[in-house]
Structure 1
Amino acid sequence: MIKIKRSEGGFIGAYITLYVVLFLFFYHYFRFKGIPPLSWNTLFCIWSSGALLMMAPIIPPRWRFSSLRYIHTALAWVGTIGLAFGLYFVLASLVIDTTAYIFSLSWEPPLPRWDLWLAFCTAFFICLYGYKESMAVRVVSIQIPTEKLPKEFSRFRILQISDLHLGILINKKMLRQIMKQIQEENPDVIVSTGDLLDGEIEDVETISQMMLHYHPPYGKFAVTGNHEFYAGIEHALYFTGKAGFHVLRGKIVEAGPIYIVGVDDPGGRFLKGQPEVEEDQLLKNISDRRFTLLLKHRPLPHRGAVGMFDLQLSGHVHRGQLFPFMAFTWLFYRHTKGLLDLGKGSLLYVSHGTGTWGP
């Protein structure tokens, strides 16, 4: 008997709900536009195809057939991009209809052809631009002045990977590009600030070996994100360890001239009932003036910990990823990108994310 984990169930439920809402919108919107109703057979084919595309991106590997891997990958791409396309089609349609209403002396629904094509083209080109942007790997370089490094270190290079979301969409080809960029940067230490996985990975050995290939002088360290718990924390920890990362779950380690402190994502407390270690209690164990780096998936600095670390690296929000969702992320996380001075000698840096979740 197949069992769905509680963490998977919540995510899958929200995903399916969004897709169903979009389907219902399209059906009633096209009827509103005066497009003749389709036959029941045609509607059944459309809904069946839509259901297949909807489910493809969220089917766990343990449910898949290896012989259909490439077909499943193609369907997952179409399904996730289709979700983004649907969202932007809705937004474009609302803007077009609202504009037509404002500039009309008397309200009459606009002709069903020009406005639909305009909304279609708008959504298509936005998705095309978004796909191009998501496949581009960019390195953002920031210098943090400090007097806490020993004299023998003129600099110490920290490379942050955040929200890579390895899985069906961020695949081996993309990972090779990322690893090549990492080697060119030649960092002293690599840190992953969560969501290294997007779900369960089929070829754990091959993908982990690709990440294991590069060994920075002072090691690789990681913390959990919410998707590590979605994927199954045991599976995520196994993969992260195989990839050469030391996972910091409420721990402090020395990495050359600095301390690195890592805490679990709060998702572990809600999804798995695991206790969460507060960083202020953890940071009290540091007594000397060595540079302290805090790894925390979500960009929510603990008020009691400000002044006890020098730099917090976070991710999670992807700067909203899809317009206009950056407005919603701003409501929960007031700082969603770049460097922020928290005061008392502490800084926060929020990454846009190396990969993407879903569309």
Structure 2
Amino acid sequence: MRRKIPFVPIFIFALVFLLINGYALTALAPLISSALLPWLWIFPLTLLALFSFSLTRLSVDGPSSLFKISAHALLVYFVSLLVFVLAEVITDIYRLGLAGVNYITQSNFVYPERPIIGVYIGILLASLIIIAFVYGIFKGKYAYRVIRHTLYFDDLPDAFDGFKLTQISDVHAGSLNNPKAVQKGIDLINRQQADLFVFTGDLVNNKAEEVKPYINHFSQIKAPFGQFSVLGNHDYGDYVKWESDISKRENLQQLKKYHAEIGFRLLLDEHVTLEKNGQKIILAGIENWGLGFGERGDLEKALQGTTKDEFKILLSHDPSHWEAQVKNHPSKIQLSLAGHTHGMQFGFEAFGLKWSPVQFRYKHWAGIKKENRRYLNVNRGFGFIGFSGRVGIWPEITVIELRKTKATN
């Protein structure tokens, strides 16, 4: 069975793509002979044709190798093309400014030529983008980073002062294709020697069977206070066509069994109590609740039987849940742990700056946020989906240490 093809958006994209490519070639014209210029259309047109053809062959069972290769090549070319064109647009704006000055001050007006340095800068920037994408596809998607946070709470039980938890999210096992690299990530998780391990959803892309090759990998993760998990939007199988509703439900039940086989205690709108030296904290987990991605989770059910001021940690896959229900909930939830965004697997984080296109969709998309004396951490994801790579937003293993705020006299 073939997927329905959205022809209008594809046509609009193709038109914009070709117009941008034409603009880029006009900028390159001074460096290339006029006889060679028409041949430079062959590569982008070939990419567009292969991508369009692969779309018509796309089945509900998943993308073909041709689709993956053509889509990735088109993505890399298009982004590098945009960067080059941006440099040339800035150059042309500069030329327009010079033209305005010349028109006012000179009687013999001549429109200034494009500075060749602007073209070289554009080529350099586009080349760097291509290198970054190539690294992201072949290395970056498994370049696991440990990101550490120390969070302070005035109501943390004394026994849990210094308590450490490790979080990962968004494994997307159906996308993983390098077991040795994944094992390095598992080893890195275990080296953190955390008291608690949590996984915040999207174990698979669509089907439970995707995680079978990696069960032995993830079952190596152990923590003294246990390993706990929740479901993400992809775990319900909403993005593929099933023979029947029964098949879809059976897939979800099988996935739940795989969580147990791995050693993850799956929290489905429920909570557990973690005890240490006669004191306790609450660990709650809900089914996926996300604006536009299914609002299944029941927070009230998960908190049933807890008191308003008990120290609580919540596992909830989608950070939009924190904004909508958690940060101002009458029952204080001191720490929420989420994932889902992946940081869009593309962006920039350096020198105190943080940017990703995903920020236009999510108010908080990576790292720690504090509001109303409550914390949210959004993990950037362990795996990847769609784009088989990561550029600037690396796969994350989060380690959070809970500390008791010391009373001041």
TM-score range, shorter chain: 0.7 to 0.9
| CA deviation map 1:298-343 (0-9, x unaligned) | 2232244265212111122233432489565334432233222222
- Alignment pair present for 1:164 and 2:181: no
Match of 1:315 among 339, 343, 349: 339
State the Cα RMSD in Å: 4.1
Q: Give 1:248's aligned amino acid.
A: L
- Alignment pair present for 1:36 and 2:55: no
Distance 1:206 1:327 in 2: 32
Name 1:347's counterpart in structure 2.
Answer: 375
Q: Contact 1:158/1:188 (CA < 8 Å) preserved in 2? A: yes
Distance 1:174 1:85 in 2: 23
Shift of 1:265: 1.9
Q: Give 1:223's aligned amino acid.
A: V
Q: Contact 1:320/1:326 (CA < 8 Å) preserved in 2? A: no
- The 1:44–1:333 alpha-carbon spacing in structure 2 relative to 1, beyond 3 Å, is closer
Q: Contact 1:31/1:37 (CA < 8 Å) preserved in 2? A: no
Distance 2:62 2:271 in 1: 38
Match of 1:240 among 234, 259, 264: 259
Name 2:88's counterpart in structure 1.
Answer: 97
- The 1:251–1:3 alpha-carbon spacing in structure 2 relative to 1, beyond 3 Å, is farther
Q: Contact 1:250/1:262 (CA < 8 Å) preserved in 2? A: yes
**Bigger relative contact order, structure 1 or 2, given CA contacts below 8 A and separation 6+?**
2
Q: Give 1:265's aligned amino acid.
A: N
Report which of the two has the higher share of strand: 2
Name 1:139's counterpart in structure 2.
Answer: 146
Structure of greater Rg = 2
Distance 1:339 1:46 in 2: 40
- The 1:195–1:76 alpha-carbon spacing in structure 2 relative to 1, beyond 3 Å, is farther
| CA deviation map 1:40-79 (0-9, x unaligned) | 9x998655533477699x877x568xxxxxx94xx67645
Count of residues paired in the alignment = 333
Name 1:127's counterpart in structure 2.
Answer: 133
- The 1:95–1:270 alpha-carbon spacing in structure 2 relative to 1, beyond 3 Å, is closer
Report the secondary structure of 2:145's partner residue. coil
Name 1:222's counterpart in structure 2.
Answer: 229
| CA deviation map 1:176-209 (0-9, x unaligned) | 1111011111222211112222343655433112
Identity of aligned residues (%): 22
Match of 1:262 among 282, 285, 296: 285
Distance 1:39 1:331 in 2: 33
Name 2:51's counterpart in structure 1.
Answer: 50
Report the secondary structure of 1:140's partner residue. strand
**Runs of 5+ unmatched residues, structure 1:** 65-70
- Alignment pair present for 1:194 and 2:223: no
- Alignment pair present for 1:294 and 2:302: no
- The 1:347–1:28 alpha-carbon spacing in structure 2 relative to 1, beyond 3 Å, is closer
Report the secondary structure of 1:36's partner residue. helix
| CA deviation map 1:209-243 (0-9, x unaligned) | 21112332222211222222346661643443332
Instruction: State the TM-score, normalized to the length of structure 2.
Output: 0.66
Q: Give 1:259's aligned amino acid.
A: I
Distance 2:345 2:330 in 1: 28
Q: Contact 1:101/1:107 (CA < 8 Å) preserved in 2? A: no
Q: Give 2:318's aligned amino acid.
A: R
Distance 2:87 2:125 in 1: 8
Name 1:173's counterpart in structure 2.
Answer: 180
Distance 1:44 1:166 in 2: 33
Match of 2:305 among 239, 264, 285: 285
